[in-house]
Amino acid sequence: MSQAVETLTPPSAADLAEDIKSTWAAHVLREQSAPSKTNYIYASRYSPCLRRMVYEMTHGDQQVPFDADTIAKFRRGNDRERDLVSDLAKVGRDCDYPFDIVSQQERFELRDRKGRVAIVGRVDARLRYRWGAGYPVEVKSWSVFLTEGIREFDDLFLNRWTLRGAYQLLMYLLGAGEPLGFILLDRSGLPDLIPVELNDKNLSRAETFLSRAEKALDHKDAGTLPDFISDTEECHMCPFFGSVCQPPLKYSPVEIISDPEGEQILERWSELRDGALEYNRLDKQLKARFRPRAKIPVKTLLGRFLLRGSWGKLTKYEIPVEIKEQYKTVDAEGVFRLRVEKI
């Protein structure tokens, strides 16, 4: 080794950046705690697959650990949740109905009918009002793609990721016997506070989770396993798939039909498609180009084209959002989208 390294030129900016990034990832990974077995179900671990809930307890230590990027996302979420609770405490002092933030990160336990600790969790905070109530608050800092469509508590049940947060809060309400609580939802702007009442519908949901946890505990105690779930998508998202659990997979094939008329329509549709797209683009361009100020009509000759434009009546109903909300219904299957691809 003839050359002393001290005399070398310093590394490039890219090399330095790469060095910092890889060390950062290693630093984040060091903070990860090893997954372990438990004797109960975590409140945040509701699953439509009962077998998975059993595995969470019996094989909890046999989960593939998260990568550095995912752990970093969790860290960011935790930091954000802490900030939101801190802001909430300040806001609470100035509200018309002032409240204090109490019992932060308080452990919660819910026992089943056999007296076993079935569901365990940690309540992010409680809002303590003058009248003595301590309403639980669950703070969630999910991806904006998940939170964009959430307007009310029921919306949380439409997605498999947000569903768990919804069940988590219901467990806190059921466990503490509180009639209401809140999901504090982080957003890119102001956070949203979604109220939740333990009405009949939500009570039934909460009891479903408790009863599933009880069944999972029964299996754990008996050393048995529930049947496989027949939801391939759920299986592929399960941390036990392939390592501990080997379920059968079932995909339904494409449906093959014979419909000469439909085929003709599709062929013609395919021929016209590109032209139609261009027509729509030009039509928009044209209308924007020759749109005058309000009340001024258009009567123009351009080359071989005569353009005539006039203003007509437009009726609008400016309905306040709160009124509009009262008439809102959500049908998860209400919209049909058809994507046609020529192979």
Site residues for other proteins per CB under 8 A: 1-9, 11-12, 15, 19, 61-65, 236, 241-243, 246-259, 261-262, 341, 343
- Taking each helix axis from N to C end, the angle separating 13-30 and 68-94, rounded to the nearest 10 degrees, works out to 70
Residue number with CB closer to other proteins (175 or 239): 239
Residue number with CB closer to other proteins (109 or 267): 267
Residue number with CB closer to other proteins (31 or 109): 31
Residue number with CB closer to other proteins (3 or 33): 3
DSSP 12-69: PHHHHHHHHHHHHHHHHHHTPPPP---SSEETT---S-HHHHHHHHHSTT-SPPPPHH
What is the separation, in whole angstroms, between the first and last Cα of the chain? 61
Residue 178: CB atoms within 10 Å: 17
Give the whole-angstrom CA distance, residue 103 versus residue 99. Answer: 13
**287 φ/ψ angles, rounded to the nearest 5 degrees:** -65, -35
Residue 6 Cβ vs other proteins, minimum distance, rounded to whole Å: 6
Residue 13 Cβ vs other proteins, minimum distance, rounded to whole Å: 11
Residue number with CB closer to other proteins (261 or 331): 261
Residue 76 Cβ vs other proteins, minimum distance, rounded to whole Å: 21
Q: Are strands 305-309 and 298-302 parallel, antiparallel or unpaired?
A: antiparallel
Strand partners of residue 184 = 139, 193
Residue 244 Cβ vs other proteins, minimum distance, rounded to whole Å: 8
Paired tokens of 33? 């705690």
Residue 3 Cβ vs other proteins, minimum distance, rounded to whole Å: 4
| DSSP 3-state of 319 | coil
Contact 18, 25 (CB under 8 A): no
Residue number with CB closer to other proteins (233 or 322): 233
Residue 67 Cβ vs other proteins, minimum distance, rounded to whole Å: 10
Torsion of CA 25, 52, 37, 80, to 10 degrees: 40
Residue 64 Cβ vs other proteins, minimum distance, rounded to whole Å: 5
Residue number with CB closer to other proteins (60 or 77): 60
